[in-house]
């Protein structure tokens, strides 16, 4: 029996889209972002799809790997449609 997808919030989806946009603007693959941030590639994939709710520590690791501050990354998420 397949596991149900976890519930997502609009902010989770927006944060994932902001991470994806920042990653692709830097021409990074999910594998490169995962390695730079010390996360698993499948976690990065789930996060970009809005299926993960990252902790503040994870947000900081992603932001640093992308050359951004956490505030910049969250601001980008808040600007997502």
Say what the pLDDT of residue 81 is.
77
How far, CA to CA in Å, does 68 sit from each of 9, 37, 65, 71, 73? Answer: 23, 12, 8, 8, 7
pLDDT at 11: 93
The residue ranking higher by pLDDT, 32 or 81, is: 32
CA distance 81 to 66: 21
80 or 77, greater pLDDT: 77
Phi, psi of 7 (to 5 degrees): -65, 145
The conformational region for residue 27 under phi > 0 = left, psi -120 to 50 = alpha, else beta, is left
For the chain, domains (ranges, CATH) are 10-78 (1.10.260.40)
Q: What is the pLDDT of residues 5-36, one digit of tens each?
A: 666 899 999 999 999 999 999 999 999 999 99
């Amino acid at each position: 029996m397949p596991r149900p997808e976890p519930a997502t919030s609009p902010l989770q989806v927006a944060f994932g889209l902001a991470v994806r946009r920042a990653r692709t603007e830097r021409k990074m693959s999910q594998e490169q972002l995962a390695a730079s941030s010390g996360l698993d590639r499948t976690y990065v994939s789930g996060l970009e799809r809005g299926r993960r709710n990252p902790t503040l520590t994870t947000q900081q690791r992603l932001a640093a790997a992308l050359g951004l501050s956490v505030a910049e990354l969250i601001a980008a998420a808040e600007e997502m449609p």
